[in-house]
């Protein structure tokens, strides 16, 4: 049963027995609270919305919906609801919590600190409030310290400090060996088998792959043109071999416990098949997201802090988008809050940095489509939401057929927007081991670009390691 069907059933059952508006709102709130406890946050947030429609003057309806939006990672909406709750009731302590949590998730730590300070003063005996204030204060100080260090060493690359000859291969190491300068099919097969056995690639060979991919990526532009010959199949998220080139569209890491194995596999194939395997940067290929959602912790646990720093440096060189046969625009997030963005302007965008809070690079990594025309503030709090008119103008100005993007979970792994001019493709089935969605990929050939063929698939079993076991304790701020 879909979220929409569950909401409809609840409304039908309640509206037939309850006619008084406030009583109906209270009943729906109780139903929503139960769905929240059952981790059906999409259903809960829709029912809280009905409560607000019935009674827009009650602060805790906005506060509860803000909490549901936090769990759905719609931080922009969570922030707006927290603000609305506080406008109605400036003494509503939970709303300050929600606003602080949303700002934490958006890496606006100084703003979060202000609200945590208010909460601990309003509730002087609340240990949780004091603990969150202190943790947020440490984060603000840590960022200031790291910024000071970075300014002193801005021209120093982590890669320059790595000497492969210093690493010794132990006699009991049973994994694959990368003695040659280039990656081979045999090495890739052995490495994947090693990962399936939950064993590690040796540190020396891990660094060898990272140094090689860094050298390769430095030389490529921010926008990559890909030509697919007639009759040759091209896959955006799919199987890999030389007669079937494909593109992975960002967010390779975080939110799982096997991100290290995933990224080494992807980088390995990129080195093996540089003209048949393509990778775009996603919003999770960034320092703050990696710190919060697990990748940094996983790399430190399996290898070292230095390797985590090198990954950050490499992610900065990943291309931002691709254009297939001069007709299909592929990026992780979406389009832009300003008109007139050309492919050439994108190609010249400086990507060797952490994602900014606005501009072309930010929108490419963070934006989402919407059905109404024009632009809207992002439900995530970063980037924008763009309508079908925005898509059509961008395609017409750049002589393109359609946009392919990712970034959003979809029940069947995909969704067509804007009359087929924009496609969302999401390839992680049963997202975070909880959502139950399908994954999907699309294929087309050089002489048949539209419509793309969509292929959905279910999740398969994986080793019994809980998802996000390396995630930062900062995620506790969302509870």
In the chain, domain spans: 3-150, 158-478
Tell me, what DSSP letter sits at residue 221? -
Contact status, residue 307 vs residue 266, Cβ threshold 8 Å: no
CATH topology (fold) of 158-478: Purple Acid Phosphatase; chain A, domain 2 (3.60.21)
| pTM of model > 0.75 | yes
pLDDT at 473: 64
List the beta strands (DSSP E) in 327-435.
328-331, 368-369, 375-377, 384-386, 402-405, 414-417, 422-425
Q: Which residues have C-beta within 8 Å of that of residue 150, sequence separation ≥ 6? A: none
Residue 151: which pLDDT band, with cuts at 50, 70 and 90? low
Q: What is the pLDDT of residues 257-288, one digit of tens each?
A: 889 999 999 999 999 999 999 999 999 999 98
Q: Strand 384-386 vs strand 368-369: parallel, antiparallel, or unpaired?
A: parallel
Rounded Cα–Cα distance for residues 144 and 243 (Å)? 49
pLDDT at 176: 96
pLDDT at 196 over 90: yes
230 torsion bin: left (phi>0), alpha (psi -120 to 50), beta (else): beta
Q: Which residues have C-beta within 8 Å of that of residue 66, sequence separation ≥ 6? A: 77, 78, 79, 81, 82, 85, 95, 98, 99, 102
Rounded Cα–Cα distance for residues 327 and 449 (Å)? 8
In percent, the amount of the chain with pLDDT more than 70 equals: 95
pLDDT at 432: 75
Q: Strand 384-386 vs strand 233-236: parallel, antiparallel, or unpaired?
A: unpaired
Contact status, residue 249 vs residue 404, Cβ threshold 8 Å: yes
Contact status, residue 247 vs residue 235, Cβ threshold 8 Å: yes
Give per-residue burial for 374-394: e unless 16+ CB within 10 Å, then b. Answer: ebeebbbbbbbbbbbebbeeb
From residue 259, give the alpha-carbon distance in Å to each of 149, 172, 280. 28, 25, 16
pLDDT at 474 over 70: no
Residue 401, token pair as written in the block: 């057929």
Q: Strand 233-236 vs strand 223-226: parallel, antiparallel, or unpaired?
A: unpaired
Residue with tokens 């309003």: 122
Q: Residue 476: name the closest of 109, 118, 114, 101 by CA.
A: 101
Residue 475: which pLDDT band, with cuts at 50, 70 and 90? low
Tell me, what DSSP letter sits at residue 241? B
At residue 210, φ and ψ (nearest 5 deg) are: -65, -40
Per-chain mean pLDDT for the chain: 91
Q: Which residues have C-beta within 8 Å of that of residue 414, sequence separation ≥ 6? A: 423, 424, 425, 426, 440, 442, 454, 456
Contact status, residue 417 vs residue 371, Cβ threshold 8 Å: yes
Q: What is the pLDDT of residues 50-101, one digit of tens each?
A: 999 999 999 999 999 999 999 998 999 999 999 999 999 999 999 999 999 9
Rounded Cα–Cα distance for residues 122 and 133 (Å)? 13
Q: Which helix (H) or strand (E) holds 248?
A: strand 246-248
Mind giving me the DSSP string for 445-459?
ETTEEEEEEEEEE--
Rounded Cα–Cα distance for residues 316 and 306 (Å)? 16
Judged by average pLDDT, the poorest of 138-142, 219-223, 418-422 is: 138-142
pLDDT at 416 over 90: yes
Rounded Cα–Cα distance for residues 430 and 438 (Å)? 6
Mind giving me the DSSP string for 299-342?
HHHHS-HHHHHHHHHHHTTS-SEEEETTTEEEESS---SSS---
Rounded Cα–Cα distance for residues 219 and 215 (Å)? 7
Residue 238: which pLDDT band, with cuts at 50, 70 and 90? very low
Q: What is the pLDDT of residues 117-136, one digit of tens each?
A: 999 999 998 898 898 899 88
pLDDT at 241 over 60: no
- Pick among 1.25.40.10, 3.90.1150.10, 1.10.357.10, 3.30.420.250: CATH of 3-150: 1.25.40.10
Q: What is the pLDDT of residues 12-61, one digit of tens each?
A: 888 778 878 999 999 999 999 999 999 899 999 999 999 999 999 999 99
pLDDT at 128: 87
The catalytic site residues sit at 284
pLDDT at 240: 29
């Amino acid at each position: 049963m879909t979220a929409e069907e569950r909401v409809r059933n609840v409304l039908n059952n309640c509206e037939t027995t309850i006619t008084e508006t406030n009583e109906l709102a209270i009943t729906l709130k109780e139903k929503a609270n139960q769905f929240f406890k059952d981790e059906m946050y999409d259903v809960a947030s829709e029912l809280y919305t009905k409560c607000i429609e019935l009674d827009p003057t009650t602060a805790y309806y906005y506060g509860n919906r803000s909490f549901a939006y936090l769990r759905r990672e719609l931080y922009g909406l969570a922030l707006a609801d927290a603000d609305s709750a506080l406008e109605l009731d400036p003494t509503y302590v939970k709303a300050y919590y929600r606003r602080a949590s949303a700002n934490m998730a958006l890496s606006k730590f100084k703003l979060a600190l202000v609200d945590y300070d208010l909460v601990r003063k309003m509730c002087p005996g609340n240990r949780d409030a004091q603990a969150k204030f202190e943790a947020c204060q440490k984060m603000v100080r840590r960022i200031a310290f790291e910024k000071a260090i970075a300014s002193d060493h801005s021209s120093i690359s982590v890669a320059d400090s790595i000497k492969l000859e210093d690493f010794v291969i132990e006699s009991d190491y049973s994994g694959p060996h990368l003695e040659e300068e280039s990656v081979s099919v045999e090495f890739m097969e052995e490495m994947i088998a090693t990962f399936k056995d939950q064993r590690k690639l040796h540190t020396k060979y891990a660094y060898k792959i990272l140094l090689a991919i860094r050298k390769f990526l430095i030389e490529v532009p921010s926008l990559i043109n890909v030509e697919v010959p007639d009759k040759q199949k091209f896959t955006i998220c799919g199987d890999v071999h030389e007669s079937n080139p494909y593109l992975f569209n960002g967010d390779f890491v975080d939110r799982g416990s096997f991100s290290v194995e995933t990224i080494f596999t992807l980088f390995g194939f990129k080195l093996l098949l540089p003209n048949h395997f393509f990778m775009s940067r996603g919003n999770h290929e960034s320092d703050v997201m990696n710190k919060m959602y697990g990748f940094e912790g996983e790399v430190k646990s399996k290898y070292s802090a230095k390797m985590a720093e090198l990954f950050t440096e490499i992610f900065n060189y990943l291309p931002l988008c691709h254009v297939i046969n001069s007709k299909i625009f592929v990026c992780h997030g979406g389009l832009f809050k300003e008109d007139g963005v050309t492919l050439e302007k994108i190609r010249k965008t400086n990507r060797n940095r952490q994602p900014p809070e606005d501009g072309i690079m930010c929108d490419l990594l963070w934006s989402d489509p919407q059905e109404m025309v024009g632009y809207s503030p992002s439900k995530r709090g970063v980037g924008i939401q763009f309508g079908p008119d925005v898509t059509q103008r961008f395609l017409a100005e750049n002589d393109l057929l359609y946009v392919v993007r990712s970034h959003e979970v979809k029940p069947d792994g995909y969704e067509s927007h804007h009359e087929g001019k924009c496609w969302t493709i999401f390839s992680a089935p049963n997202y975070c081991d909880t959502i139950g969605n399908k994954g999907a990929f699309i294929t087309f050939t050089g002489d048949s670009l539209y419509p793309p063929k969509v292929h959905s698939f279910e999740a398969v079993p994986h080793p019994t390691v809980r998802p996000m076991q390396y995630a930062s304790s900062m995620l506790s701020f969302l509870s």
